[in-house]
Structures are given as structure tokens and as C-alpha cells.
Amino acid sequence: MTAQQIPAGHTDPARIRNFCIIAHIDHGKSTLADRMLQATGVVDGRQMRAQYLDRMDIERERGITIKAQSIRMPWTSRETGVEHVLHMIDTPGHVDFTYEVSRSLAACEGAVLLVDAAQGIEAQTLANLYLALENDLQIIPVLNKIDLPAAQPDLYAAELAHIIGCDPDDVLRVSAKTGEGVEDLLDVICRDIPAPVGAADAPPRAMIFDSVYDIYRGVITYIRVIDGHFTPRERIKMMSTGATHELLEIGVISPEPKPTQGLGVGEVGYLITGVKDVRQSRVGDTVTDAAKPAKKSLGGYRDPKPMVYSGLYPLDGSDYPLLRDALDRLQLNDAALVYEPETSAALGFGFRCGFLGLLHLEITRDRLEREFDLDLISTAPNVVYRVVLEDGTERIVTNPSDWPTGMKIAETYEPIVKAMIIAPSEYIGAIMELCQERRGALGGMDYLSPTRVELRYTLPLAEIIFDFFDQLKSRTRGYASLDYELSGEQLSDLVKVDILLQGEPVDAFSAIVHKDKAYAYGTSMTAKLRKLIPRQQFEVPIQAAIGSRVIARENISAMRKDVLAKCYGGDITRKRKLLEKQKEGKKRMKMVGRVEVPQEAFIAALSTGDSAEAVKK
Amino acid sequence: MPALPHGDPAPPNGRLPRANLDAAHGRPFGFYVHVPFCQTRCGYCDFNTYTAAELGSGVSRGSYADTVLQEIRLASEVLGDGDAIGDRIPPVSTIFFGGGTPTLLPAEHLGLIIREIREQFGLAADVEITTEANPETVTPAYFTRLREAGFTRVSIGMQSAVPHVLEVLDRQHSPGRPETAVAEARAAGFEHVNLDLIYGAPYETDADWQTSLDAAIAAQPDHVSAYALIVEEGTALARQVAQGVLPAPDDDVSADRYVMADETLQAAGFSWYEVSNWATSAAARCRHNELYWSDASWWGAGPGAHSHIGGVRWWNVKHPVRYTAMLESARSPAAARETLDEQARFTERIMLGVRMRAGLSVAELPPASQRLVPQLATWGLIEHADTAPDRVVLTQRGRLMADAVVRELLA
């Protein structure tokens, strides 16, 4: 197969097939994509880098895709002999990025539903499948890893057939690893996925399904053309903001960017305008010609909305300017990241940051530490609360320290999610128990097959941003999978619990919790701090309080012994060095009132796992 | 003993910078002699000592004294630095034999070492010469020979009077034996006898500790050292604690035991002169140890021994075989050294001075540290000395918190 017979720019839409691959982490999406690149001759075996599409280090390590990419591949159907242009549009692979996934799906006419033949479908895949069905995508069910000894293709083919309502014989079987069945799959894509339809003569419209910042080129925007034609050097307009830019370059990716003389109906590619900030090129927005703009946008655009907030603080206070620069840099490539300066009495200067979800938080933190060489403390994440005061005014609270105090609170609201959990049926009990502990309400349950079940719950978002997923995994021996989407808010009885050291509140430890869990949070946090904070010269009470009411108390008794019994000739050097080290350690202590708290205590007390431990008890 | 500290390289000939030799001029001078042999290894002990089995054939107890003599002659060359030794170093005021178990060597061998020190450096008229002694290794005849060799003081490792405590500590002597040894030493003519005690061992009770204190006092030593048991890294005790076989010593319990020791000893006519040391009179204090705490000079001979001369500290190689080999090939056995800068000397002055009854002179503290004095006094850690109000001294509670006090004063 020789690559690239049909030049990009004026491809006959009838020859185009736009598709994505919906798959769970580890089910082999990247390997299949790699294999397709090879089979279509876009990448030869020698250049093949494992998992070509996942470019960020963190993506490679975690085996997930954060940023979508798209690749143009030529393929001549062996059934019809007709040459096609395939656009494979990658989709982000995590629950935090549901909106991005929906935009990737909206750029396609079909989806390959890829499922591990040894594991069956997972919740997230199912959720994305539903999204695809809502978008009227043609689904091609595929079982991967049929070469595995543990594969049960018949069982899972039946499951897939049951879910999407097809014949089990229609489920393709491939091994992305060996390449078996991949060429057949390419033929089926050509056969079954509808060609894109659009008005070639209408004012041009394209949907942005991703944008990434490149230090050399500025923002690279990935688009799917719906109507009309885009040509280089024309002025384009972003319909959500009305901003116009000159189209410096337009092209396709195959697998490296290749400039073209334009892009037409149904084509997928990239454009570059020279903007330096992805917020000027937003996922879901419609691009049109500034000179003769389309009257209507394609719809479906949504501003990214942070759902989880956390304070990020440099371990070393003098790194604060570095952290600010690093966040500025990251934001160039992450339209969903928001932050503003914040000061904590305990942690010093830092930033209150908003994220799409917990993974988004972790990835951002990871990148700050890795790419910018920063050591950070992050405060326990919290969701966004709505507080209605008795006088009728309303507060949006993204930080426990903004919780109204000294005012009469009428009602408090917290965000909720609709969650879908898929697991072997033997774990129903364990899952229900976990969801009940987390204030979940069961919405329904369906058997996907005689042994696998789908449970639907409504849960407070705050309950799942701690270790819900870890707990779910451990209580189902790793078999359960989870997906959730935001589903508005609910009235809840929420309180702010403060933690006080010697009567001084430690802002970093304050938390908004449900009233029924306030006591548990208070007792476990005070107990944990008692273990983490070294004894001082004086007694230190640790209290948990709601307003002025103390709900839990621990005591750190005064230290009584801090002396080396022996200090003779051979001990002096060692002892002096020890003291010098301790002196350095003392400098790193944070003072809360008169109490010296080691930084490690803050880190340990704020670590997500332990906080969840705290809430669980 | 724990790993040696890191330091700068020491020259093969062991020579010291002239400036440091000059700085030591006029300072009291003592000798420490390390004897790295033990009959058996005690589970809590991390000192640099070896059983015959551990040492094998590389080093013999019989020739050990000869090796030490070589180091004493090296000391004389280094400290004399081409001048008459007496011009640079005063006669030796104290000698201390520690270990290990010095009393595993024949008293005559210890005597040879004393004689060599006298020949090379001269001894002060009131020289104090101490040896540590394990009660099971000494006899009335041995004490007599120690006297003949020139010893003026013995320090007996009693540790406890309670069988189950001695067992946890792996001590070989039977209860009662240390007290008898004190009487034997007295009979042989020793005016100064110390008993070493350890408190806070696993399963020791307050009552056990009181028993040990009472037994020690009844034996009528003129000096008692009492040490909290420390779980040192790399010891059998540390392994047992890590494995949960033995409970770790508890700081609060140790604090209680310290208070018991201090009260009991005071009531019996002893007064503290250093955090872990009590004596019946000023004359009964161990002047050799006071040397360590008062910026004086000493030469430590033997494997792993530390020395200090005029702001240079150094330490010998740890293993007896290596130590012997270096001296045999006419090289200094020093492993490394450090030269103290002003900051380090100040840290040491505070760290060591605060442990002593005389305390610290407020005027010698920098202004920032002086400002902390009232706070430390409020916390009940220090007080102004009755006899010298310009000095601050640790209270009983402060002695237990001495390291915290030092950190405050240095911060």
C-alpha cells in the first residue's frame, strides 16, 4: 500500500470516513491506532514508536490520552477497490474530560467500540458509547486481544451484541498486538461508516475538537470541517467570542503536520493563527470565514467549568513566583485550568486552582512538579457549594475559608453526579455499601449479561473526589469500573469544620462536610494531627469545631525528654552535626501560633488517601 | 559505635596545623585509651568493640598495648611539632581507659601504656587515671595491680541490680557482684569509684529502677552515672525492637526514671554536675569527662577513638586490624578530621556547656540567644544560678530537655 493518493484540501466527501475509537484504558486503543498507521502505510515499522498518538510523558505513563489528536490515513477497501481517506480522531480517555470526548465524537460519523476480549466492557466505555449513540454515530463493535489465553470472545461478543443490539457475529475480532483482523476492520470502516455530509458552497463552518499550545508554532487548533472550504491567508472568526485571526496555516496530520491548500467538507485537520493561548481557540467553538461568516454556529459550545478546587502551595515559599509562571504556562495549553492567588496562614502564598475533576488536578500537579521542577503541597480538594443566607443573598463557595460565618444560613447546596458502575454481579453488595457510605441514591440496576451488572447512582461530587474510585477498585478486587457526569445540585445539610491548634484555626485543614460526617472528619483529623505534630515544650490541644462548638479534641502532651544521655569525646562531632541538621529542620517548620508544625505533617494530613480515610471512619 | 562522621582527609603523618597547636597552648590535656575487646557483645551496645571470635587472628589482646604505645609516640611527635613537648603541652592531667573492656587486658599492660604516656608527656601531680571495669572481669588482686600501675579511679559497669533487666541488657555479671567490686576497689585503695547505671530497658519497672538506685547507693561509690537506654542503630536491640520482640523505650518513662534517679541520688548526698552524672563532692567528679565538656585538649588512642586539639577534631579508623596495620606501617591511624569554624565552636560551647552544673554565662550568648532566656525560664527549662546570677543553669526538667534548649539558643 502506497500512502497518500488523494491530496488533502478538496477530498470528495463520499471518500471520507471520520471515526474515533471508544475504549477503556488498557483495552488497546493506542496499539490498535498504531497498527492502523502501519497498515495504511502512514508510519512504517521502522519509525514506529509504541503508542504514537500518546505524546505527553504523563499520558504514556498513565496509559491515557489527555489531548486528542487526529490522523489522516489512506485506505483502499479490499471489498470494493475504492480508495478512501480515513480520519481517525483520538478521544481523551477520562471522566474529567467528558465534554472534550463529546466534541471529538461530534467530529465523527462512526465509532469503533473497542473492548478487551478478556475483560468485557467497562463503565467509561459504556458511557462514551451512549454519548456516541446520542450523536447518531455508526458503531463498529470490536473485540481486541483475541490472542490472549484468557480471552473469552464468545462471551463478550454476546455482551456487546446485547448492549448495542446487533448480532454477535457482527462483532469483529482483532489482535492489535499481532495485527490480526486490523485490515478487515479498515474495510468495515469504509463499508459501514457513513460519509460526511455538508454544504460545499455554504459559508465555511468547522468545529474545534481540540487545541494545543506549541512553543514554536503557538496554538494548533484541530478542526472538523462541516460546510464550505477554508483557505490559507483568509481571516477566520471564532463564533463564541467573535475574535478574528489570520489563517497562517491549514493542513492535515499524517502523521506529522502537512500544510495544504485548504480543507473542505468532511475533512479533518489543523489550523494555526499565531495565537498564543488555547483560551482563544476553545474546544467546541465554531470557526467560520470572517469575511462571509456563517449565520449560525454549529452549537454545542460550552465554557469549561471547574468542578473541583484545591490550593496549590510551593513547599519552599520562595518558589511562589516560579509557581505563578508555571501556571501561566500551563494555562496556555489548558483552557479549563483557572487559578487565583490565595494566602494561607499555615501554608503561605499559593494559588486557589479550579479543575475539571480530580484527574485534571493530579495531572496538573504532576506537570507542575515534573516540567517545572516544583515541590508542592495541595490542600484537600473541594467542590463548589452554593449557600443561601436567610436574608436571601447567595454565595458561591469554592474555598472553605469563604464559607459564611457569623451569618444565618438558610440553605446549602452541593453538586451531584450521575454515576454508572459496571462490575461482576457478585460485588453488588460491596458497591451498594460503598455508595451508601458516600450518601449515594440508587437510581437503577441492569444486568448486561448474566454475570455483569450496571448500577446507576446519584452521588454528591464531594464524595467521589476523595478516594471513591480507589475504594471501589479495592472492594471489587479491581473489577468495577466507574463513569459519572455532573447532574446539577442538591439541597444538603452542610457544615464547615475547622481544626484548631491551641485555639488557632489552621485554614489549610478546614473542610466543608455533610453534617452527618462532621464528627467523623473532626475525630479522625484531630487524631491524625496528634500523631503527625511533634510534642512541643507545652501542651497543645487540637480541636475540631463547627463555628464555636467543639466536636472533637485531642491533646499533644508537652514533651518531657529531648536530650542525648551521653555526650563524651567521641559523641561531640556527631551530636553537633545532628543539632545543625535539626536547626535546619526547625527553619522549615511552619508556625501556627506558637506551635511548630513540620511541613511533612501538613503534607501527610492533606494527602488525599488519608483525608478519605478520615471521612470513611 | 555508629559509623564515623564525615570529615576532611587527615595527612598520613597525622600532623596538625600550627595554628591549632597554638590554640591548644595552655589548655588542660588528657589521654583517652580505647580498648576494643569484649568477652561477649551486649545487645544494646554500639561501641567499637569486638569479641575474640569477631576479631579472628588479625589482632591479639596480648600485643594490643604495644600498638597503642606506637600511637602515643606518634602523639608526642605531632604535638611536640619539633619543639620540646613541655613547651607546647602541659603535663597530662587525666587518662581514661574505656572500651570495650579494658580490664580484659592484664593490669600490667595498662601500666605500660600509662608509663609511656608519662615518659612522653609527663603526668600532673594530681593526675586522675580511670579505667572502666566490668564487674565479672575484676578481682581483689586485679584492683591491687591497677593501683600499682598508677590508677586512681575505677568506673564499674553495674547497669542494674535486677536480674531480668541485666538479662535484657545481655550483661554477664550476677546481681550483687558490682557492689562487691566497689568494696574490693575500696579495699585496694581506690578513693574514687563510679557505678554506671542504665534505665528504661524493656520490661524494667519503676520499682526495678528504684531497686537498682538503692543498691548502687548502698555500695557507697562517690560517683554515679545514669543513662537512659538508647536504641542505637545496627544493634541487636534495635533489631529486636523493630521486629516487635522487645518494646521500644518510652521517653515519658525515661523522663520519670531520670527524675527518680535525681531525687534518690540527691537525697543520698550526690549532686548532679552534668546531665547524666552525679558525685558526692567536687573532688569526686570525673575530671577527664569535664575535659570533654570544657573545650580542653585530649588525644584519643586506639581504633575509632576521637581526639581534639585546639579546634581540630579527628577520629581514628574503626577496625582494630586496620588500626594496627596503619601504625605498623608508621602512618597515623586517623581516618578523617574536621577543623571547627567559629560557628561550630560556638555550637559546641552551647551544646556542651549547657549540660554542666556551671551552666552558661548569659553575657557570652549572642543578643538573639539572650532574648530567649526569659522564654526558656518561663517554660521552666532554665534558671539563674543561685551562686552566679549572670549564669543560667538547666532545671531538672530542663536537663531532660537539654537538646531542645540548645536548639532554641542556637536558632
In a domain, residue B307? The reply is no
Q: Kindly state the average pLDDT of the residues B132-160.
A: 97
Q: Looking at chain B from residue 8 to 37, which residues have their Cβ under 8 Å from any Cβ of chain A?
A: 32
Are A560 and B404 a contacting pair at CB < 8 A? no
Residue in chain A closest to B4 (alpha carbons) equals: A574
Residue in chain B closest to A588 (alpha carbons) equals: B411
Are A568 and B289 a contacting pair at CB < 8 A? yes
Q: Quickly state the pLDDT bin for B333 (edges 50, 70, 90).
A: very high
Of B255, B298, B401, the CB nearest to A569: B298
Are B407 and A569 a contacting pair at CB < 8 A? no
Collapsing DSSP to helix, strand or coil, A422 comes out as strand
With an 8 Å Cβ cutoff, is B401 touching chain A? Answer: yes
- Dihedrals φ, ψ of A147, to 5°? -80, -10
CB contacts, 8 Å: B401 with chain A: 537, 559-563
The predicted model scores a pTM of 0.68
With an 8 Å Cβ cutoff, is B353 touching chain A? Answer: no
Residue in chain A closest to B348 (alpha carbons) equals: A576
C-alpha cell at A89: 480522531
With an 8 Å Cβ cutoff, is A555 touching chain B? Answer: no
With an 8 Å Cβ cutoff, is B248 touching chain A? Answer: no
Q: Looking at chain A from residue 211 to 230, which residues have their Cβ under 8 Å from any Cβ of chain B?
A: none
Look up cell 467509561; give the residue.
Answer: A124
B138/B203 same-domain check: yes
Number of A/B CB contacts below 8 angstroms equals 102
Distance CA A132, CA A112 (A): 10
Comparing CA positions, the residue from A436, A495, A498, A446 lying closest to residue A468 is: A436
Of B1, B338, B351, the CB nearest to A575: B351
In a domain, residue B358? The reply is yes
Distance CA A138, CA A312 (A): 43
Distance CA B399, CA B411 (A): 19
Distance CA A298, CA A294 (A): 9
Of B305, B308, B406, the CB nearest to A579: B406
With an 8 Å Cβ cutoff, is A574 touching chain B? Answer: yes
Taking the CA of residue B288 and the nearest CA in chain A, the distance in Å comes to 10
Distance CA B95, CA B68 (A): 14
Q: Looking at chain A from residue 519 to 548, which residues have their Cβ under 8 Å from any Cβ of chain B?
A: 537-538
Mean pLDDT of chain A: 88
Question: How do strand A348-355 and strand A308-314 relate by DSSP bridges?
Answer: antiparallel
Residue type, B141: A
Of B32, B227, B315, the CB nearest to A565: B227
In a domain, residue B208? The reply is yes
Residue in chain B closest to A586 (alpha carbons) equals: B411
The DSSP bridge partners found for residue A545 are: A498, A550
Helices (H), A314-467: 320-331, 358-371, 428-437, 461-464
Say whether pLDDT at A48 is over 80: no
Mean pLDDT of chain B: 95
CB contacts, 8 Å: A586 with chain B: 407, 411
Taking the CA of residue A566 and the nearest CA in chain B, the distance in Å comes to 7
Give the single-character DSSP code of B124: E
Q: Kindly state the average pLDDT of the residues B26-37.
A: 96
With an 8 Å Cβ cutoff, is A579 touching chain B? Answer: yes
Are A572 and B315 a contacting pair at CB < 8 A? no
Say whether pLDDT at A612 is over 60: no
pLDDT at A66: 47
Are B228 and A565 a contacting pair at CB < 8 A? yes
Residues 6 or more apart whose CB falls under 8 angstroms from that of A514 comprise A439, A460, A492, A493, A494, A495
CATH no. for residue B102?
A: 3.20.20.70
DSSP for B361-411, please give it: EGGGS-HHHHTTHHHHHHTTSEEE-SS-TTEEEE-HHHHHTHHHHHHHHH-
Are A561 and B308 a contacting pair at CB < 8 A? no
pLDDT at A615: 30
B209/B349 same-domain check: no
Q: Quickly state the pLDDT bin for A610 (edges 50, 70, 90).
A: very low
Q: Mean pLDDT lowest for which of A162-166, B297-301, B357-361?
A: A162-166
DSSP for A567-613, please give it: --GGGHHHHHHHHHHHHHHHHTPEEETTEEE-HHHHHHHH-HHHHHH
Angle between helices B402-410 and B342-353 (to 10 degrees): 150
Are B403 and A538 a contacting pair at CB < 8 A? no
ipTM: 0.94
A561, A567, A568, A583: which to substitute to probe chain B, counting the most B Cβ within 10 Å? A561
Are B230 and A574 a contacting pair at CB < 8 A? no
CB contacts, 8 Å: A562 with chain B: 400-404
Residue in chain A closest to B300 (alpha carbons) equals: A569
- Classify the C-alpha dihedral B56-B62-B65-B66 as positive or negative: negative
Taking the CA of residue A474 and the nearest CA in chain B, the distance in Å comes to 28
CATH no. for residue B350?
A: 1.10.10
Answer whether A245's CB lies under 8 Å from A211's CB: no
Our separate counts of H helices and E strands in chain B read 18, 15
B394/B269 same-domain check: no
**Residue range B303-323, pLDDT digits in tens:** 999 999 999 999 999 999 999
Answer whether B34's CB lies under 8 Å from B102's CB: no
Q: Is A300 exposed, middle or buried (0-12, 13-18, 19+ CB in 10 A)?
A: middle
Q: Kindly state the average pLDDT of the residues B190-203.
A: 97
Between CA B250 and CA B231, with CA A568 as vertex, the angle to 5 degrees is 25
CB contacts, 8 Å: B293 with chain A: 567
In a domain, residue B239? The reply is yes
In a domain, residue B306? The reply is no
B289/B347 same-domain check: no
Residue in chain B closest to A536 (alpha carbons) equals: B404
Among residues B293, B322, B354, which one ends one of the domains? B293
Are A570 and B5 a contacting pair at CB < 8 A? no
B72/B154 same-domain check: yes
CB contacts, 8 Å: A574 with chain B: 2, 5
CB contacts, 8 Å: B410 with chain A: 579, 583
- Classify the C-alpha dihedral A126-A132-A135-A139 as positive or negative: negative
Answer whether B199's CB lies under 8 Å from B261's CB: yes
Residues 6 or more apart whose CB falls under 8 angstroms from that of B92 comprise B29, B30, B31, B117, B118, B121, B122, B123, B124, B127
Look up cell 584492683; give the residue.
Answer: B143
**Residue range B269-296, pLDDT digits in tens:** 999 999 999 999 999 999 999 999 998 9
B61/B180 same-domain check: yes
Q: Quickly state the pLDDT bin for B26 (edges 50, 70, 90).
A: confident
Comparing CA positions, the residue from A494, A552, A492, A500 lying closest to residue A521 is: A552
B377/B264 same-domain check: no
Taking the CA of residue A46 and the nearest CA in chain B, the distance in Å comes to 52
C-alpha cell at B1: 559505635
Q: Mean pLDDT lowest for which of A332-336, A593-597, B120-124?
A: A332-336
Q: Quickly state the pLDDT bin for A52 (edges 50, 70, 90).
A: low
- Dihedrals φ, ψ of B65, to 5°? -55, -40
Q: Kindly state the average pLDDT of the residues B79-103.
A: 93
Comparing CA positions, the residue from A441, A464, A445, A466 lying closest to residue A455 is: A445
Q: Kindly state the average pLDDT of the residues B17-40.
A: 94
Q: Quickly state the pLDDT bin for B262 (edges 50, 70, 90).
A: very high
Distance CA A98, CA A450 (A): 29
Taking the CA of residue A586 and the nearest CA in chain B, the distance in Å comes to 8
Between CA B315 and CA B322, with CA B319 as vertex, the angle to 5 degrees is 95
> Which is more confident, B4 or A206?
A206
With an 8 Å Cβ cutoff, is A563 touching chain B? Answer: yes
Say whether pLDDT at A486 is over 90: no
Q: Quickly state the pLDDT bin for A607 (edges 50, 70, 90).
A: low
Say whether pLDDT at B77 is over 80: yes
Give the single-character DSSP code of B329: T
Q: How many domains are contained in chain B?
A: 2
Of A561, A565, A575, the CB nearest to B276: A565
Are A569 and B308 a contacting pair at CB < 8 A? yes
B226/B130 same-domain check: yes
pLDDT at B123: 98
Distance CA A487, CA A469 (A): 18
Residues 6 or more apart whose CB falls under 8 angstroms from that of A425 comprise A447, A450, A451, A452, A453
In a domain, residue B118? The reply is yes
Percent of chain B with pLDDT over 70: 100
Domain boundaries, position B126: 18-293
**Residue range A498-515, pLDDT digits in tens:** 999 999 999 888 999 999
**Residue range A233-244, pLDDT digits in tens:** 999 999 998 999
C-alpha cell at B45: 551496645
Q: Is B383 left (phi over 0), alpha (psi -120 to 50) or beta?
A: beta
- Classify the C-alpha dihedral A496-A501-A505-A507 as positive or negative: negative
B247/B360 same-domain check: no
In a domain, residue B333? The reply is no
B218/B363 same-domain check: no
Answer whether A346's CB lies under 8 Å from A315's CB: no
Distance CA B174, CA B162 (A): 9
Residue in chain A closest to B197 (alpha carbons) equals: A565
Of A566, A572, A583, the CB nearest to B313: A572
Q: Looking at chain B from residue 250 to 289, which residues have their Cβ under 8 Å from any Cβ of chain A?
A: 251-252, 254-255, 258, 275-276, 289
Say whether pLDDT at A93 is over 50: yes
Residue in chain A closest to B407 (alpha carbons) equals: A583
Q: Quickly state the pLDDT bin for A609 (edges 50, 70, 90).
A: very low
Q: Is B87 exposed, middle or buried (0-12, 13-18, 19+ CB in 10 A)?
A: exposed
Distance CA B375, CA B360 (A): 16
Percent of chain A with pLDDT over 90: 60
**Residue range A15-44, pLDDT digits in tens:** 999 999 998 877 888 889 889 988 998 877
Of B307, B338, B403, the CB nearest to A562: B403
Comparing CA positions, the residue from B218, B143, B255 lying closest to residue B188 is: B143
In a domain, residue B324? The reply is no
Q: Mean pLDDT lowest for which of A178-192, A596-610, B58-72, B363-377?
A: A596-610
Q: Quickly state the pLDDT bin for B52 (edges 50, 70, 90).
A: confident
B277/B348 same-domain check: no
Distance CA B120, CA B14 (A): 17
Establish how many alpha carbons lie within 13 A of residue A147's alpha carbon, considering only the half-sphere containing its beta carbon.
9
Say whether pLDDT at A49 is over 70: no
pLDDT at A617: 25
Q: Quickly state the pLDDT bin for A616 (edges 50, 70, 90).
A: very low
Of A557, A566, A576, the CB nearest to B276: A566
Say whether pLDDT at B361 is over 60: yes
Taking the CA of residue B348 and the nearest CA in chain A, the distance in Å comes to 7
Distance CA A171, CA B158 (A): 84
B125/B44 same-domain check: yes
> Which is more confident, A19 or B411?
A19
Q: Mean pLDDT lowest for which of A347-356, A409-418, B46-55, B325-334?
A: B46-55
pLDDT at A46: 59
pLDDT at A53: 52
Say whether pLDDT at A611 is over 50: no
Answer whether A417's CB lies under 8 Å from A458's CB: yes
DSSP for B167-232, please give it: HHTT--SPTTHHHHHHHHHHHHT-SEEEEEEEE--TT--HHHHHHHHHHHHHT--SEEEEEE----
CA distances from A548 to A57, A405, A498, A515, A519 (A): 48, 10, 9, 15, 14
